[in-house]
Structure formats: structure tokens, C-alpha cells
Amino acid sequence: MRRLKLILKGCLPTEFWDLLAKSKSFVYHNCIDLYNLYLIKKAPRRHRKALEIVRKKEVIKVAFFLTHESVWKYDILYNLMLQHTKFEPQLFVCPVVNFGKENMLIEMDKTFKTFKKKGYDVIKTYNSETGKYLDIKKTFSPDIIFYTNPYEGLQDYRFYVKQFSKKLTCYVPYAVMTTNYDSFYNLNFHNLVWKIFSETSIHKEIASQKQINKGKNNIVTGYPGFDQLLINKTPNKGVWKNKIQTLKKIIWAPHHLMNELNEVSNFLEYYDFFLELADIYRDKIQIAFKPHPLLRIKLEKDVNWGKEKTDKYYNKWVGLENGQFENSEYLDLFLTSDALIHDCGSFMSEYLIVGKPSLFMIRSESVMKEWSSFGEKAVSVHYQSRDKKELIDFIEDVVLKENDWMKEERNNFVQNILIQKDSSTASQNILNYLESQLFR
């Protein structure tokens, strides 16, 4: 057979084999798409059956699948379940595999240690010594699973939603979404998961227009990521390295999309300038460099940067007297800061909750065309800069002179759109919904 193939390959033109390869690829991908549609159509029936089973249980096991620590929004919900007589929550750190095994092990170890230090009962799902993955179905047998990330291929396939189609799967978006990209609303994940707890009624409406299932699995509860920012009245000021009280505290949070999608990140144009600002205003401000976790990975792989240059740059922030590098939880950092400068959509709404002024850096006007109806409203209550002069004006006028003329407009947006009308936290709203479905 092998010899026959070689003879045929020599006789038939290259174009024929190219066409055959394309045909096979076309058929394969169409079969995958049809199978995914089948799973989506079948999902509600499977969820109804799972719900019937769970309702008969005395104690309901809840697994929280954590990837990066920065996307964890379940602090209060997890603790509410710990105190509940009918829930048994457990936190699992899942492998992030889209940037190779070395990065997977680093991220998993870092996240595990962070949550262990915070007092969580946390379990790794990969054993680096044996090379084996934890079979959660056997060891824990969850009834409900909460995801922190929707992307297939980001975490290991063993923990993706398709492996738990007969379970009640839930999702809180890892950020308050500000753009219209289908990947934020209409992946297979969004249509396969049992419930998505939406940030606002605007997001639910967008989901109803974009999702294959018309957003029928979306429940508006408010955003759990706001809860800690709203209820924490005694944040830790010690997160800032420099203890001089007169220094204004500014967070700089650059995104990682330098060359992809809408190329929103200003990092390549401003990385040296922010070090200059830290030097020029060294007796007036301190800056916390809070980059997106993926920025470092992409810089290390970039031909013009590489690991050595990236490490050198990040270490400059570590060594600055009035600067610091932040790569973990940001709750206390937000609450004790005076301002945020960023180009990161995921921070756009969360920081508004704090009540402090925020500047959104616009790299190009094409970025401003990508907003959803929610994103347009959110960015409109931000100060904006398109060049270095406007950035300096924000620091000098709004931060140092405290001329925050957009404060009332920001607060109206927070009260009328971001926060739910009832007095409960978003986490409590989620728990109330689960109780209404499970404990009839």
C-alpha cells in the first residue's frame, strides 16, 4: 500500500494532492462544527438531568477551577459556600498550557502558593514529579463547577467544559467585557455552560444577540469582582513600597495586545517614558507597574526584546525608590491608590468602583471603534490621552492638583449601570440564585 501511494504521488500532479488535503481539512472542520452544534443543542437537556440529581443530595460539591490568580473573582462566593451547610467548595489550580510546559509549571506553582498563603484549601491538578493529572471526577466528583476562563486550549483539555457536560457548570467573566468580540460571548464554552452570571443587563442583551443559544443561560447578578472593592473598608496600605505619605500613588497597567486584534497596548511606545516620569516626579509620585500577566511572556518571545532585555526592564521597576513591579492580587493596590493609567479593558470598570480618577491611553483611533455599547459608556467616563502631553496633563492637573472634574460623571455611571439596585453583593446574588434552583 505504501509503494502504491508513492507511485500515485509521482504520477498525479501536486495540485491534486493539495486539493485533497484541503478537502480533508474542510470535511474535518465541518464535522467538528456540527458536533459542537450537537453538544450545544443537547446541553439544556443534560443540565436538567444534572439538576434533578443534585436536588436529591444533602451536600453539594462545588469545584472552582482556577487558572491565573489575576482572574479569580470568587473570593466572597467561595467563603459564603464555606459557611453554608449544604455546599462543600474546593479550589483546584488547573494547568495553563497555551504557552508551553515551563510556563505552565511556573504559573501553577505561583498561583498555588498565593492561595495557600491566603488560607485556601487548594489542590494542584498536575503532579510535576509523576507527570500525572488529577482525575477530579474520581477524587472529588463535583456537582457544580465554576470556571475562571472560557478559552479552549488555554487550560488543559482534561478540565475543559466538554469533559463535564453532565455537570452543572458556571462562569463569571474574568473581566467586565467592553468590546464586541465574539470570543467574549459566543465561544462553544459560552453555549455549553449551564449558567453565565452576567455583569450588567447590557451584557446580557449583547449575549442574547451573539450567542448561539440566544443567551438563555445568562443571569444578571452584578459582577463579583466588585464585591471586595465595595465592602473592604480597611485596605492594606503596606502594598506600596515607598512609605512617604505625600507621594501620590499611581498605577500603570499596560495590556499585552501590542500586535494582535485591536493593538490596544501602548507599552512599546511608552515603556521608557514611564521610567522618565518616575524620575521627573520622584518627589511627588510613586508608580506601581502592573502589567497584564501575558505581557512579560510575549516580550520574552519577541525578537526585539527577548528574556534578557525583558528581565532587565522589569527589574528596573523593582529597584526604583518611587516605583515597584506588581504581578499578583491588586485589591489593596486599587483601594489605596490615587489614580490609574491604563489601556486594559478588564480594569476599565473595576477601577471605577474605587472612585478615583482613571486615564485610558488611546494608541490609535481604531481602538475607539471596537467598543460594545457598554464599552462606549465606560470609556466616556475616563480621562483620555492620545500623546505624552495629555498624559502629563493628567498627572499634573488631575492627580497632583486634584482637579478631578469627571468625578460626578463616574459615580453616576457606577451607581446607575455597574452596581445592582438591590443591596446584596453580586456573590450573594449568585448564591441566592443557586439556592432557588437547587433547594426547591
Q: Can you give the pLDDT at residue 12?
A: 62
Q: Can you give the pLDDT at residue 86?
A: 96
Q: Is 289 exposed, middle or buried (0-12, 13-18, 19+ CB in 10 A)?
A: buried
Q: Can you give the pLDDT at residue 353?
A: 94
Q: Can you give the pLDDT at residue 8?
A: 56
DSSP label at 251?
E
Grouped pLDDT means (10 residues each) for the chain, 440 residues: 59 62 59 86 96 96 91 93 96 89 88 90 92 94 96 90 96 92 92 97 95 96 94 90 94 91 88 97 96 91 94 96 90 96 90 96 89 94 96 98 96 92 88 93
What pTM, to 2 d.p., does this model score? 0.86
Pick from 262, 284, 296: nearest CA to 364 = 262
Cβ neighbours of residue 14 under 8 Å, at least 6 residues apart? Answer: none
Q: Can you give the pLDDT at residue 329?
A: 79
Q: Can you give the pLDDT at residue 44?
A: 96
Grid cell at residue 217: 443561560
How many angstroms separate the CA atoms of 436 and 300, rounded?
48
Q: Can you give the pLDDT at residue 33?
A: 80
Element containing residue 333 per DSSP (H, E): helix 331-336
DSSP label at 417?
I
Q: Can you give the pLDDT at residue 172?
A: 96
Identify whether the C-beta of residue 124 lies closer than 8 Å to the C-beta of residue 91: no
The radius of gyration of the chain's CA atoms, rounded to the nearest angstrom, is 24
